[in-house]
Chain A
């Protein structure tokens, strides 16, 4: 009895967590390389493309040489560099806080990987908590402490300012982050991520009925992770500062790891809440949870692969945004968060509530109305974007002087 309990609640989740964690960390390490490469390719240049070419050319047959992207060993070279670099500790820094600073963001970033469902339960869900979403939100919010501590402990005026700014940004975008989820909760009726995904498989991806919420969530995700266009703390602007200026080698690597891990967590959340998780189904037809479980382990693996590909899509979107947009100024950033995102999220909640209640009252499906509205907006936008237009559309001469 005890052994059974131990097996079910301790050993088996630990094994699952380790497998998921290792896979995610491999993705994090690869993301470093993928980001530099893709960013380069979007900017009309090649990213890192030399490290390890000879090694891979020796191991693979000749015909496959064209398909191997160059520079794959960069994935290993970067962590080795971090490990071997000299660790410089400023003498006037507050030692305890300085050492604690990088570790604090890692704890919630790694812990949250227990709570995300990667595939159909019960095999591919590490811990099935019925308030999973609430726990995830709470844990990701505690990531701010490390930044404040890191910025303050460096004993550097500009580091402190950068750290405070970053903390203010992350805290103020927690509110739209949370508020945008309320619409999804109203439709799906539960905090349990597995239930939300099953609901989406039975109806339609939450992207369509909750389009505005998805957009707000995307923006808040970018702001939470200090990514462009909200990367003021990270970029080399004004005083060349940021909370991680005084950190070198492995401590800096911890900050980076925490950032990439929380990027993946947020992408997983986005996929689970708005894009249907591991299922590919509409209105019950397609690869729902039931179908995937019916195929046993193979179905589960298929579900996990679908989930990971959707997550990678959003990670690539992070890189795409970084390549395209300029940076917001800090006061404009806070302006956007408080004056635009929060009212928009509240309006979304109000509209969703009204439509769902009217649906219950007058006997039509409220969410179908919302889905049609969402799909119409997406179709209209794509039409306006992709239609062939006259060449000269940009700001040019308005009047002849």
Chain B
């Protein structure tokens, strides 16, 4: 299919109708309502699947290290040790998490760790609708286990309240 411009008619050329068309469009646009959101007084709520800040749940995590394996940048640092614990009258070997740190300043929020987590509901999730993570100090952006779970001691995030323990079930989301 060939594209070509129409040959302008003589009226268009001499009466400058092409320029006047442009002027008409801009004038019409002047009176339309504007779509600007005046941040920070008005904010848009991100979508349900928005990949924002991490939240972690120590109780659900089974220390399988699949998230650390899946991370393309290797910023999840996990240390575990084995322990013998008594459950239902039998001695079982359990893995106990010592350290679960994420270096958020190098994260690209790709959510491959969330996808790799095998527990239901997930133990590490990013759908927290929080994106205002800027800080004045580099050390603030290295989160350890408690901070990932409780978000305390950090600037106020305009996202989920810090005590929401579970990710929302998103329809059609990851099984």
Does the CB pair B23–A381 fall under 8 Å?
Answer: no
Does the CB pair B23–A320 fall under 8 Å?
Answer: yes
Q: Determine whether B89 belongs to the interface, using a CB cutoff of 8 Å to chain A.
A: no
Shortest distance in angstroms between B22's beta carbon and chain A's nearest beta carbon? Answer: 5
User: With a CB–CB cut-off of 8 A, which chain B residues contact A45?
Assistant: 34, 36
Q: List 5 A-B contacts (CB under 8 A).
A: A42-B26, A42-B29, A44-B34, A46-B34, A381-B17
Instruction: Tell me the complex Cα distance, A324–B18, Å.
Output: 11
Name the contact of A385 in the complex, choosing from B1, B5, B20, B32 (C-beta under 8 A).
B20
Does the CB pair A46–B23 fall under 8 Å?
Answer: no
Q: Determine whether A401 belongs to the interface, using a CB cutoff of 8 Å to chain B.
A: yes
Q: Determine whether A399 belongs to the interface, using a CB cutoff of 8 Å to chain B.
A: yes
Task: Look across to chain B and name the residue whose beta carbon is closest to the beta carbon of A322.
Answer: B26
Name the contact of A323 in the complex, choosing from B16, B19, B26, B35 (C-beta under 8 A).
B26
Q: Determine whether A362 belongs to the interface, using a CB cutoff of 8 Å to chain B.
A: no
Does the CB pair A380–B30 fall under 8 Å?
Answer: no
**Residues from 43 to 63 in A contacting B, C-beta threshold 8 Å:** 43-46, 49
Task: Look across to chain A and name the residue whose beta carbon is closest to the beta carbon of B41.
Answer: A50
Number of A-B contacts (CB under 8 A): 62
User: With a CB–CB cut-off of 8 A, which chain A residues contact B15?
Assistant: 377, 380-381, 384
Does the CB pair B26–A397 fall under 8 Å?
Answer: no
Does the CB pair A42–B30 fall under 8 Å?
Answer: yes
User: With a CB–CB cut-off of 8 A, which chain B residues contact A384?
Assistant: 11, 15, 17
Q: Determine whether B135 belongs to the interface, using a CB cutoff of 8 Å to chain A.
A: no
Q: Determine whether B27 belongs to the interface, using a CB cutoff of 8 Å to chain A.
A: yes
Q: Determine whether A66 belongs to the interface, using a CB cutoff of 8 Å to chain B.
A: no
Q: Determine whether A38 belongs to the interface, using a CB cutoff of 8 Å to chain B.
A: yes
Q: Determine whether A391 belongs to the interface, using a CB cutoff of 8 Å to chain B.
A: no
Name the contact of B3 in the complex, choosing from A42, A49, A321, A395 (C-beta under 8 A).
A395
Query: Residue-by-residue, is B57-77 near A (CB-CB < 8 Å gives 1, otherwise 0)?
Result: 000000000000000000000
Name the contact of B17 in the complex, choosing from A385, A395, A399 (C-beta under 8 A).
A385
Q: Determine whether A134 belongs to the interface, using a CB cutoff of 8 Å to chain B.
A: no
Q: Determine whether B88 belongs to the interface, using a CB cutoff of 8 Å to chain A.
A: no
User: With a CB–CB cut-off of 8 A, which chain A residues contact B92?
Assistant: none
Name the contact of A397 in the complex, choosing from B2, B16, B19 (C-beta under 8 A).
B2
User: With a CB–CB cut-off of 8 A, which chain B residues contact A323?
Assistant: 26
Shortest distance in angstroms between A398's beta carbon and chain B's nearest beta carbon? Answer: 4
Does the CB pair B2–A401 fall under 8 Å?
Answer: yes
Instruction: Tell me the complex Cα distance, A354–B42, Å.
Output: 65
Task: Look across to chain A and name the residue whose beta carbon is closest to the beta carbon of B21.
Answer: A385
Query: Residue-by-residue, is A331-373 near B (CB-CB < 8 Å gives 1, otherwise 0)?
Result: 0000000000000000000000000000000000000000000
Does the CB pair B4–A395 fall under 8 Å?
Answer: yes
Instruction: Tell me the complex Cα distance, A321–B30, Å.
Output: 13
Task: Look across to chain A and name the residue whose beta carbon is closest to the beta carbon of B4.
Answer: A398
Chain B residues within 8 Å of A, Cβ to Cβ: 1-6, 11, 15-17, 19-27, 29-30, 32, 34-36, 38
Instruction: Tell me the complex Cα distance, A398–B25, Å.
Output: 25
Instruction: Tell me the complex Cα distance, A41–B29, Å.
Output: 8
Shortest distance in angstroms between B63's beta carbon and chain A's nearest beta carbon? Answer: 50
Shortest distance in angstroms between B21's beta carbon and chain A's nearest beta carbon? Answer: 7
Does the CB pair B26–A320 fall under 8 Å?
Answer: yes
Query: Residue-by-residue, is A19-44 near B (CB-CB < 8 Å gives 1, otherwise 0)?
Result: 00000000000000000001001111
Q: Determine whether A400 belongs to the interface, using a CB cutoff of 8 Å to chain B.
A: yes
Instruction: Tell me the complex Cα distance, A42–B22, Å.
Output: 12
User: With a CB–CB cut-off of 8 A, which chain B residues contact A44?
Assistant: 29, 32, 34-35
User: With a CB–CB cut-off of 8 A, which chain A residues contact B35?
Assistant: 44
* The 3 nearest A-B residue pairs measured at CB: A395-B5, A398-B4, A324-B22
Does the CB pair B36–A41 fall under 8 Å?
Answer: no
Task: Look across to chain A and name the residue whose beta carbon is closest to the beta carbon of B6.
Answer: A395
Instruction: Tell me the complex Cα distance, A49–B25, Å.
Output: 24
Instruction: Tell me the complex Cα distance, A400–B17, Å.
Output: 28
Task: Look across to chain A and name the residue whose beta carbon is closest to the beta carbon of B3.
Answer: A397
Instruction: Tell me the complex Cα distance, A284–B23, Å.
Output: 34
User: With a CB–CB cut-off of 8 A, which chain A residues contact B11?
Assistant: 384
User: With a CB–CB cut-off of 8 A, which chain B residues contact A41?
Assistant: 30, 34
Instruction: Tell me the complex Cα distance, A19–B175, Å.
Output: 76
- Given A323-B26, A324-B23, is A396 in contact with B3 using a C-beta cutoff of 8 Å? yes
Shortest distance in angstroms between A216's beta carbon and chain B's nearest beta carbon? Answer: 13
Residue of B3, B16, B35 contacting most chain A CB atoms (<10 Å): B3
* Further contacts, 5 of them, CB under 8 A, given A324-B25, A400-B2: A43-B29, A44-B29, A44-B32, A49-B38, A384-B17
Shortest distance in angstroms between B44's beta carbon and chain A's nearest beta carbon? Answer: 16
Task: Look across to chain A and name the residue whose beta carbon is closest to the beta carbon of B24.
Answer: A385
Instruction: Tell me the complex Cα distance, A321–B16, Å.
Output: 14
Shortest distance in angstroms between B96's beta carbon and chain A's nearest beta carbon? Answer: 53
Q: Determine whether A325 belongs to the interface, using a CB cutoff of 8 Å to chain B.
A: yes
User: With a CB–CB cut-off of 8 A, which chain B residues contact A400?
Assistant: 1-2
